[in-house]
Structures are given as structure tokens and as C-alpha cells.
Amino acid sequence: MSKTIFFSVGEPSGDEHAAHLIEALRREVPGVQVRGFGGREMKRAGCAIDLDLTEHAVVGILEVLPKLRQFFRFVDQAEAIFAAGKVDAVVLVDFPGFNWHIAKRAKKYGIPVYYYCPPQLWAWASWRIRKMKATVDHVLAVLPIEQSFFSAHQIPTTFVGHPFFDAVDQTVLNQTNVDSIRRVSGEHQTTVAVLPGSRTSEVTKNWPVMLEAIAILSRQHPGTRFAVAAYRDKHLAFCQSTYQQYVDREGNDLPLDFYQGATSEIVDQSRCAMMVSGSVSLELMARCKPAVVLYRVGRFLYAFGKCVVKVDSVTLPNLMPDPESNQRPFPEKISVGNPIPARDFLVDQIGALLSDDALLNQRRQQLARLNRLYAQTGASERAAKKIAELLSGVSKIGHLPDREKAA
């Protein structure tokens, strides 16, 4: 009898990771059926999408509050699927604020819950470990620190590696995109990748500051072009309209080009990148591309983060120990309020990477070291094998009496 696995994925990056896992699961578990909440990449991988949750990705309490009623309707939708009795396991990917509720509803029906790309409780919100223990049967850890953290709290955990390294290793660059970037940049120009985020809220907060920095950098470093990688159509439209407002106001164009669906090609062809903090930092690490990280947040989220965050960086490669250097591979700035310091930070840091070849090479060598230490491929296959093992061991685990009561 074939198994049915329900995925709950809310982040665009998680959508990509889940898609690779689904492909591996379909090879590992013949006849497996996959459905759930996710996005377009999961759909391409063969997942029946009950809801495109990635369209609703938000960050921060103030952004979540207006959508609470909507999110609880989504949770009720998932419970209706669980109540029908046709789900053998639930796989959660990131998006903890929402996925805690999915896990709780799944446990109500005795359905085992596996967390892939788990919430970074080791970095913040460690008090939620009780919730993890109560609702998650097995953690598929993507970072070594996660395995030690969750195992220390008696949560069954398997380290599988980070799927972003799989994605980079398996990506075949689109030659049309590469040729387009090369043609626009020309033989004697340097390309800087501009990555304004994968969430709408990130793009709206960070892109205007990036644009102001680009205006200054283009004057200071003639011969440099800036390639903007938009994740969605609406992000592309926002970036282009904001740029047009700049042109109308200032009366001059910038050496700026817009692309959608070409992030890997842009990173590959760039000297360095200015980026919003996110999982894409691992692709930059894997491709040995130095980057400068910006993350604009509201005042409330900034104050809240100062109280609960236990690490001194929001960029994953910066949290990977380098035995030969105490310097962060990706300089970063968390910005709140006045945008001018954030703009000047980008100008100074990107300017240094454009003008100082020795600094650029030093950063590349550091990223190469980190790759040798941490960038193992095969995460999707290892995760799929573990899920298959768990499914074959016990078809249903958890609170079976609750399931019987619910039925």
C-alpha cells in the first residue's frame, strides 16, 4: 500500500529544499504520494499543492498579526486533511510560527511529524524546545550545531546536511541567462549581484536602500554594472517601479539590469554581491562569491530580537567556525530606522571588494575553506532515506488514542 506524506512549507527557500526532498523520496519510496502546503517548485516536483503557502510568507510579529485569522483557517484546512485518515506522515520545513500548529494538529490524529530544516532554536527562542519535544517525532538537522542541540534535549535527530549545497551542485546554469548577463555587462565591466530578498516584506524594506547605495557606487566605480535578481514577478515589478521613480526624480539612468529566475547565473557571473540575509548566503558560499549582507527590520522586531537572539550574526556562513580566521566571511548590518547608515555600510563594504583585489581573494579563500569543512552534498538523499526508514518502522506513531477519539 502506497504511503501519503503531507508537506507544510511556507518559505520560498523551503519550497526549493522540499522539492529536492520530494524528488528523492519518489526515488526512495516507490508509489509515494505527496501533497500539502508549499509552492511552485514543490508542484514541479510532483507534489499536489493544497495551498500555495509561500505566497503568504511574512517575518516578524507585526507582519503576522494581520494574517492570524487567515493562518488559522489554513491550519483548519490541514486538519481536515488529517481527519480524513489518508496521511501517513507530516514533513515540516522551516516556517516555525505556523508549522507548530500543523504539528499539533497532526499529533491529534496520531500522525508522525518530521522536521526538515528545523527552527533555529539554538540561536533564539530556546524556550520552545518543549513544544518541539511534544509535537515532533524526528528532526532532520541541516547544520552540525542542530544535531548536538536537539540531541542534548532528547529529541531524536539525524544530521543530513544542508540542502542548499545539493541545489547548487545540481544546478545547471541557463546559458541564455549567462549570455544575457555577459552581453549587457560587456567585456570590460564588472558585475555586482544584487539580491533583495525572497519575501515581499524583505524586498520592500531593503531594495530602496540598495538602490541608493548603487547610485553612489556607480559614480565611485565606473565600469561596474549591477544585476538585480528578483525572486517573483511582483518583486521584479516593485524593484523596477522604484527604480523608475529614482530616474524620474534624478534625471539619469544607472548601470542597472533586472532579471527574474536567474539568481544562480547572476551569482556565478558576479565579482561580489550585496544581499539581504537569507539561505541564499549558502549558495554564495558554495560558489565562493564574497558578499555584503543587509537586513532592514522594524523597531519592534529589532528590540524583540535584541532580547531573545543568542548569536551575533543572522547569516549562516558567519556562524560556521573557521579555524584560520576570526573574520566573518560576509560583513553584515542589521538596520533599523534611519536608512543612511545602512546605505553607507553597503557603499563602503562593496566599494572595498571592487577596489581591493587582495581583500577579494582573501574572502574567496575563506569561503573555499568553509566549503571544504561544511558543504557536503547529498542532504536530500540522506533525508529521504531516513524518512523511508522511519515510515517502514512504524506506520503511525504518536497519540493513537487521540486519533481514535477524533474518528
Residue owning grid cell 556607480: 218
Orientation angle between helical segments 357-374 and 340-355, nearest 10 degrees: 100
Q: Mean per-residue pLDDT for 165-186? A: 88
Q: pLDDT digits over 337-387, tens only?
A: 899 999 999 999 999 999 999 999 999 999 999 999 888 899 999 999 999
> Per the CATH hierarchy, to which homologous superfamily does domain 170-374 belong?
Glycogen Phosphorylase B; (3.40.50.2000)
The percent of residues above 90 in pLDDT, for the chain, comes to: 65
Q: 302 or 257: whose pLDDT is higher?
A: 257
Strands of 291-296's sheet in order across: 256-260, 224-230, 190-195, 272-276, 291-296, 332-335
pLDDT at 314: 76
Cβ(255)–Cβ(224) under 8 Å?
Answer: yes
Cα–Cα distance, 235 to 360 (Å, whole number): 30
pLDDT at 154: 94
177-186, 189-198, 279-288, 374-383: least confident range: 177-186
pLDDT band at 302 (very low <50, low <70, confident <90, very high): low
Q: What is the CA radius of gyration of the chain?
A: 22
pLDDT at 396 over 50: no
pLDDT at 404: 36
Mean pLDDT estimate for the chain: 88
Cβ(297)–Cβ(336) under 8 Å?
Answer: yes
Q: Mean per-residue pLDDT for 126-146? A: 88
pLDDT at 402: 38
pLDDT at 35: 98
Question: What pTM, to 2 d.p., does this model score?
Answer: 0.74
| Domain positions in the chain | 4-161+378-406, 170-374
User: Could you tell me which CATH class the domain 4-161+378-406 is placed in?
Assistant: alpha beta
Longest dimension (CA), the chain: 71
pLDDT at 66: 54
User: CB neighbours of 85 closer than 8 A, spacing ≥ 6?
Assistant: 109, 407
pLDDT band at 13 (very low <50, low <70, confident <90, very high): confident
pLDDT at 61: 44
pLDDT band at 67 (very low <50, low <70, confident <90, very high): low
pLDDT at 299: 66
Asked if the domains at 4-161+378-406 and 170-374 fall in one CATH topology, the answer is: yes
pLDDT at 279: 82
pLDDT band at 301 (very low <50, low <70, confident <90, very high): low
Q: 348 or 181: whose pLDDT is higher?
A: 348
Amino acid at 280: V
User: CB neighbours of 163 closer than 8 A, spacing ≥ 6?
Assistant: 16, 17, 20, 21, 117, 142, 379, 380, 383
pLDDT band at 57 (very low <50, low <70, confident <90, very high): low
